[in-house]
Structure 1
Amino acid sequence: MDVIIDYLDDAVFNKVYPSTWGSSSGLRQFISLYIVTTIFGLLAYYVTAGINYMFFFDIRILENRLILKDQIKLEIKMASFSLPIMAFLSAICFWLEVRGFTQLHSHIASGSAGFFSIILTSIAFLAFTDACIYWIHRCLHHPFFYTRLHKDHHKWKVTTPWASHAFHPLDGFLQSLPYHLYIFIFPMNKFQYLILFGLVNIWTVSIHDGLYKVPDVLKPVINGSAHHTDHHKYFRVNYGQYFTLWDRIGGTFKNPDGFQEGKQG
């Protein structure tokens, strides 16, 4: 995020903040990060979910008897309320990043070494966050946390792309925490991190869109929309984010109903 803040300081913030308030001020940095995280978070949600809804979502799903009245409006309302709060909590993590407490770096080795480094760290990032999110998500289904936090998201028994960020704000932040935690533990290129963080948003939307088109060879491995649809339907299965590995290890894997012949959600 320091790359984005440095750019916006030159383009916008230096013209807005008092000249006596230097760009290295911790408070100024946090305010800037909160503004940026809120705006980009809302835009990413509206744009990504909007594109998915217009071009990929099958609107016949809205005829399902489990769809709530005005559900899309309710999903957007919840997400629009929660995202600025999630952004505040995320901005704390980004502030620590900007202040140099993480292992982010700007170095990329030349040639094939740099290419393989990017590939390996991307795989490590996905593996680490997938494992963490599985256990966080599973813990959120414990009755104590479910009734207080996660139940809000499960009111959408049949989801649309707009449900992707329609969480209780603390629930949403807890499930995003592994993305922040990774860079405190492991080194990663800062540009690579920004790209992966953005792609996470797209994936989160995609697993709520009811589109089950996964290549047959990947169906046993990828935790896609069909798996997450069954998670909302049955509650205690398919907690994973990207892969089915931890559901298989944890005994919570269910082969999706949507993969059965002739069934499309």
Structure 2
Amino acid sequence: MEVLLDHLDPVLLDDVYSSASQLIEAICANRTQLCTLAADPGLWQRHGLWRQSISIFFMTWLSSSLFYLVFGTVCYYRNFDQSLKKQPKFRPNQIRSEIADSLWALLVLNALTVPIFVAQVRGLAKIYTFGSYSAWYEVARYPLFVLFSDTCMYWLHRVFHHPVLFRIAHHKHHRFVIPTPFSAYAFDPIEAWIMSLPIYAYSFIWPMSDVGQLLVFFITNIRTFLLREWFVPSNRQSRARSHSHPCSVDDNRDQFHTVHHKSIQPNFGQFSALWDRLGGTYADPEVFSEPVRNKRERVKPLEH
């Protein structure tokens, strides 16, 4: 985040905050206590706490909302099987609900994440300038991050499936049995924030470069909140079609999470099925999705 602020401050934000300060000073002619505080030039200094907090919130909120709307729309029209909308479990006005829930979650989620980003920018995390560590560590930190994130996300996900927490928060996401790309952020906002903590916790435990932190932030958001929500039907024709454009990912991985939406007990993993296999919660997508009629065809009738 510090990298982004360092680039945006001289190019854009210095002028924005200077104009904002002048505007507030002109509006607050009566000099109430609140206006006096808001017009304080120290509040708008480049490295001031309030300015950094406001800048980070608007950067993350606007960019994540724009990314969600654009990327979600592209993938909805290019990847989602429209025939699934005729299924009984596809809710009335579902897409509108998915978008409304996701945008609300993004607003609250980004507001709650501001203190974490501010702590990183102000040197409280173990973030270093890219290139300060050896090349092997620069490469090795990514699989280490995946292992750390996958472990945390698996157990957090399982915790939110406890009957109490599921009823309070997580059931909101499972309303969409046949999710579209627009359901990517359709979580309870507090739950979404808690589930995102492993992304940032890593940099407070082990050293990570500024570039690396940005990289894992974007990759994890794409993988966790968008790619896993693409509902890919099980027939071969649709699978073949899904691999013909850039919105597609590994089909087995898509169905891995689809199984979780159809039956909420198995397949809690984020990046892999490692912890599901170790924790006894793994369900093979191919076996799970296999039509019952095919199973019946394999059962030989008893000979009389």
Asked if these proteins are the same fold (TM beyond 0.5), I'd say: yes
| TM-score using structure 2 length | 0.78
Alignment of 1:245-256 (within 5 A): 245-256=274-285
Q: For residues 215 and 73 of structure 2, what CA distance do their matches in structure 1 show?
A: 20
TM-superposed deviation, 1:211: 2.9
Q: 1:222–1:244: 8 Å Cα contact kept in structure 2?
A: no
Match of 1:141 among 153, 161, 176: 161
Q: 1:134–1:240: 8 Å Cα contact kept in structure 2?
A: yes
The one-letter code matched in structure 2 to 1:168 is D
Structure 1 residue 195 corresponds to structure 2 residue 215: yes
1:31-56 Cα deviation digits (max 9, x unpaired) = 11111111111112112212211222
Runs of 4+ in 1 over 4 A off after TM superposition: 212-215, 257-263
Aligned to 1:186: 206
Q: Structure 1 residues 229 and 149, CA, compared in 2 at 3 Å: closer, same or farther?
A: same
Alignment of 1:57-206 (within 5 A): 57-108=80-131, 114=135, 116-203=136-223, 204-206=225-227
TM-superposed deviation, 1:63: 2.0
Percent of paired sites with the same residue = 31
1:184-220 Cα deviation digits (max 9, x unpaired) = 00111111221221112221211111237699xxxxx
Kindly report the root-mean-square deviation, in angstroms, between the aligned alpha carbons of the 2 structures. 2.4
Aligned to 1:234: 263
Q: For residues 119 and 149 of structure 1, what CA distance do their matches in structure 2 show?
A: 37
Aligned to 2:68: 45
TM-superposed deviation, 1:179: 0.2
The one-letter code matched in structure 1 to 2:111 is F
Q: For residues 96 and 67 of structure 1, what CA distance do their matches in structure 2 show?
A: 42
Aligned to 2:6: 6
1:32-87 Cα deviation digits (max 9, x unpaired) = 11111111111121122122112222222222211001111110011111111000
Q: Structure 1 residues 164 and 223, CA, compared in 2 at 3 Å: closer, same or farther?
A: farther
Aligned to 1:208: 229
Q: For residues 164 and 16 of structure 1, what CA distance do their matches in structure 2 show?
A: 32
Larger radius of gyration: 2
The one-letter code matched in structure 1 to 2:231 is G
Q: For residues 177 and 152 of structure 1, what CA distance do their matches in structure 2 show?
A: 20
Q: For residues 287 and 120 of structure 2, what CA distance do their matches in structure 1 show?
A: 41
Q: 2:199–2:216: 8 Å Cα contact kept in structure 1?
A: no
TM-superposed deviation, 1:258: 7.4
* Secondary structure class of the residue paired with 1:240: coil
Q: For residues 230 and 38 of structure 1, what CA distance do their matches in structure 2 show?
A: 31
TM-superposed deviation, 1:109: 6.1
More relative contact order, 1 or 2 (CA 8 Å, 6+ apart)? 1
Q: 1:34–1:91: 8 Å Cα contact kept in structure 2?
A: yes
